[in-house]
């Protein structure tokens, strides 16, 4: 059995498997419509199977049904000649994840878009697979602010997430280097903030520049399409609109949002290099009303659903430099009027305002672990990125946590120490390192550990100038991460990485069929290297958990 992520239990009883052909019918019970559509549109197209509707008791049919004795995302596949293939799910998502496993059972050709062997004999081996996820939040952050990814690329990544049973897309839409979402009441965000005149090539210390303009944004209909496409695959999309730092692109479009008594904000442009800009939002009523307007449109584009995590809105809250606030008379006046101690308190006030604003509209705020500084409302959640410490503090304070420590699951970090590794950034995080990542920190009580909603891998795109670079940095490590997020693995030191590598040998063929430009186990191909493009290696091992 070469499934990824590894299922909880697999039986291979004696007997024949289930042949599939043009006469195979698909019966779908109530609540399984999304999996039914996906099977016909994707698996059927890949293998040339019409999968027409048919009776539940048809010989060797494929049956989809809900089973309330299973956990919501759990599934059970039973394939036997004469009885057909039955996929039971505890909920609609469980049936869908079972359909993803069925695809793997049918071989790499099932991952293509059209048949490559028309008429070839197809069969599902005699199997009983029982499975359910360890974590509810199994996420991927996709940074489209630093390098824009066209809509088709985002839809492709949603398909790749679904193939690995990941269910949360953290959509990083705004930053100093670009604003990627149309806001109708503020058209300059699309006209000005969505593009920069040139781009640093490599780390910010690199002397190289790409001198052509770079940009793009998603129209509101693009966003609706992305959200709907994700929902068909049981994936929640959590938008991130950064406040109060990482905001130079917005200030370049609307200078009144910046600290105008300190800097001439009318002279600012969208930032063309990497790092953390000092141009942060001014703590004024004008800024608050502006971003309330932004979030009003964001809430309409990303509606809350009863299932998944669509009630969350990410507000960033990280790496807010305070120099301009320190020099600003207006900021000092605000601190005094609010009875705050210092600029750190001002940032906490800023986040607290939007925490309350979102909560009043039935939504939940989530932000990077800096938002813990100064205290949080009970419903807010934390993305722990600066190691495990923020997650531990948040869980102990009663907040839900998504574990995504940069030392382990930042996929922009280099995958090997060799000089051929393109644009070396951060720690060396090999495929095995990611496979041995443990999302739940040591030292939590059982109640505190339950605060860990799950985990997330982050794909920051400063040094990923195109889709091929994103693929290279993301895969195959995302497959290892998916198994960590889904499967109930033993302690990190006890995990059978050799078995995972064995199963990856089959999975690479699936990735090939999907057209993923992954890093081969032997190292980068010649065209995947970036000789002479400087990175920022960090030496030494990551901290203990």
Opening angle at CA 437, ends 433 and 438, nearest 5: 160
Residue 92 to residue 64: CA distance in whole angstroms: 10
Beta strand 122-124 with 236-243 is unpaired
Query: How far apart are the C-alpha atoms of 322 and 350, rounded to whole Å?
Result: 13
Q: What DSSP character marks residue 541? A: P
User: For the stretch 461-491, what's the b/e string if a residue is b when 16 or more beta carbons lie within 10 angstroms of its beta carbon?
Assistant: bbbbbebebbbbbbbbbbbbbbbbbbbebee
Q: 316: which strand partners? A: 243
413 is catalytic: no
Residue 246 annotated to the active site: yes
Instruction: Report the alpha-carbon distance of residue 196 to residue 110 in Å, rounded.
Output: 41
Catalytic residue among 23, 130, 319, 420: 319
Measured in degrees and rounded to the nearest 5, phi and psi for residue 120 equal: -65, 145
C-alpha distance across the termini of the chain, in Å = 32
Give the C-alpha separation, 141 to 118, whole Å: 38
Distance of CA 351 to the CA centre of its chain: 23
Find out whether 318 and 385 touch, Cβ atoms under 8 Å.
yes
The yes-or-no answer on residue 175 being catalytic is yes
Helix, strand or coil for residue 264?
coil
Catalytic residue, from 60, 78, 131, 175: name it.
175
105 neighbors 421 (Cβ within 8 angstroms): no
d(CA 17, CA 266): 69
Pair 292, 185: CB distance under 8 Å: no
Tokens of 359: 């909560």
439 close to 386: Cβ distance less than 8 angstroms: no
Write out the two tokens for 259: 């600290």
Return the HEC string of 375-402.
CCCCCCEEEECCCCHHHHHHHHCCCEEE
Q: Write down the catalytic residue from 203, 246, 413, 507.
A: 246
List, by residue number, the catalytic residues: 175, 246, 319
């Amino acid at each position: 059995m070469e499934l990824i992520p590894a299922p909880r239990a697999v039986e291979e009883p004696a007997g024949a498997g289930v042949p599939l052909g043009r006469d195979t019918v698909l019966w779908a019970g109530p609540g399984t419509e999304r999996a039914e559509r996906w099977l016909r549109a994707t698996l059927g197209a890949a293998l040339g199977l019409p999968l027409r509707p048919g009776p539940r008791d048809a010989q060797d049919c494929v049956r989809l049904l809900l089973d309330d004795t299973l956990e919501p995302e759990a599934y059970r596949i039973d394939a036997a000649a004469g009885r057909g293939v039955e996929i039971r799910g505890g909920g609609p998502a469980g049936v869908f994840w079972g359909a993803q496993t069925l695809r793997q059972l049918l071989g790499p050709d099932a991952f293509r878009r059209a048949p490559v062997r028309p008429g070839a004999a197809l069969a599902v081996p005699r199997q009983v697979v029982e499975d359910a996820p360890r974590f509810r939040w199994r996420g991927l952050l996709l940074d489209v602010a630093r390098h824009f990814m066209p809509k088709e690329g985002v839809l492709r990544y949603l398909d790749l997430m679904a193939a690995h049973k990941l269910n949360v897309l953290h959509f990083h839409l705004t930053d100093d280097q670009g604003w990627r979402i149309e806001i109708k009441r503020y058209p300059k965000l699309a006209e000005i903030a969505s593009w920069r005149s040139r781009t640093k090539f490599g780390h910010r210390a690199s002397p190289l520049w790409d001198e052509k303009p770079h940009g793009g944004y998603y129209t509101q209909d693009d966003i609706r399409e992305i959200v709907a496409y994700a929902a068909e695959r049981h994936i929640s999309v959590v938008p991130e609109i950064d406040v109060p730092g990482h905001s130079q692109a917005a200030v370049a479009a609307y200078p009144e949002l910046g600290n105008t008594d300190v800097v001439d904000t009318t002279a600012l442009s969208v930032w063309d290099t990497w790092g953390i800009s000092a141009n942060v939002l001014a703590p004024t009523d004008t800024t608050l009303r502006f971003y309330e307007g932004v979030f009003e449109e964001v809430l309409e584009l990303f509606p809350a659903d009863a299932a998944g995590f669509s009630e969350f809105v990410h507000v960033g809250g990280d790496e807010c430099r305070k120099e301009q606030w320190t020099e600003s008379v207006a900021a000092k006046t605000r601190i005094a009027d609010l009875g705050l101690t210092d600029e750190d308190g001002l940032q906490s006030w800023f986040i607290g305002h939007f925490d309350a604003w979102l909560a009043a509209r039935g939504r939940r705020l989530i932000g990077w672990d800096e938002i813990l500084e100064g205290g949080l409302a009970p419903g807010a959640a934390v993305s722990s990125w600066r190691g495990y410490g923020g997650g531990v503090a948040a869980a102990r304070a009663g907040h839900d946590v998504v574990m995504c420590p940069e030392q382990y699951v930042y996929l922009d970090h280099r995958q090997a120490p060799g000089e051929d590794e393109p644009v070396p950034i951060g720690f060396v995080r090999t495929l095995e390192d990611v496979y041995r990542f443990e999302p739940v920190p040591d030292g939590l009580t059982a109640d505190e550990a339950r605060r860990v909603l799950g985990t997330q891998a982050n794909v920051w795109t400063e040094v990923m100038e195109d889709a091929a670079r994103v693929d290279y940095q993301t895969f195959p490590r995302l497959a290892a991460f998916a198994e960590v997020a889904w499967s109930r693995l033993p302690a990190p030191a006890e995990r059978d990485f050799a078995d995972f590598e064995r199963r990856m040998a089959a999975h690479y063929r699936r990735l090939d069929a999907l057209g993923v430009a992954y890093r081969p186990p032997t190292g980068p191909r010649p065209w995947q290297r970036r000789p002479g493009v400087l990175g920022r290696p960090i030496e030494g091992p990551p901290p203990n958990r």
